[in-house]
């Protein structure tokens, strides 16, 4: 289906997302830090990024701003445990926003929606 980059500082979350989203047919690459994610973005192609906001000693929102500036056509879904960031102006740069849950259906639905929107925009 699509090649996704999952950026989260929690190894268990990266593993869960890789398994669950991989079962949906997606090719999943993971990164545990913003620096690691930025390196992967330099050398690899992704159709979408799933990005946590709170990374250890780093801000996912800062990485989001960098991605939008450098790769404005790269869709990003923020996936965080904190719903309060939905009102943060910088979070509005993302194509989607999902509050983390043990049920990944909302995230899967949002990935599908954003990928379909990207495909439609390309024509």
| Predicted structure pTM score | 0.91
Please state which CATH number belongs to domain 3-122: 3.40.50.2300
Q: How confident is the model at residue 87 (pLDDT cuts 50, 70, 90)?
A: low
Q: Sketch the domain layout of the chain as residue ranges.
A: 3-122
Average pLDDT, whole number, for the chain?
89
The string of pLDDT tens digits covering residues 39-59 is 999 989 999 999 999 888 888
pLDDT at 89: 57
| SS3 state of residue 68 | helix
Residue 96 burial (CB count, 10 A): 19
Q: Is the pLDDT of residue 15 over 90?
A: yes
Q: Is the pLDDT of residue 115 over 70?
A: yes
| CA-CA-CA-CA dihedral for 90, 72, 43, 30, to nearest 10 | 40
Q: Which residues contact 36 (CB under 8 A, 6 or more apart)?
A: 7
């Amino acid at each position: 289906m699509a090649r996704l980059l999952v950026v989260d500082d929690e190894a268990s979350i990266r593993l869960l997302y890789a398994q669950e989203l991989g079962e949906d047919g997606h090719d999943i690459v993971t990164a545990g830090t913003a620096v690691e994610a930025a390196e992967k973005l330099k050398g690899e192609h992704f159709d979408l990024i799933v990005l946590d906001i709170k990374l250890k000693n780093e801000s996912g929102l800062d990485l989001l701003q960098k991605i939008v500036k450098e790769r404005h056509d790269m869709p990003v879904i923020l996936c965080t445990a904190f719903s309060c960031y939905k009102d943060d102006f910088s979070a509005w740069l993302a194509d989607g926003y999902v509050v983390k849950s043990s049920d990944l259906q909302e995230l899967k639905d949002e990935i599908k929606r954003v990928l379909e929107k990207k495909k439609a925009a390309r024509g």
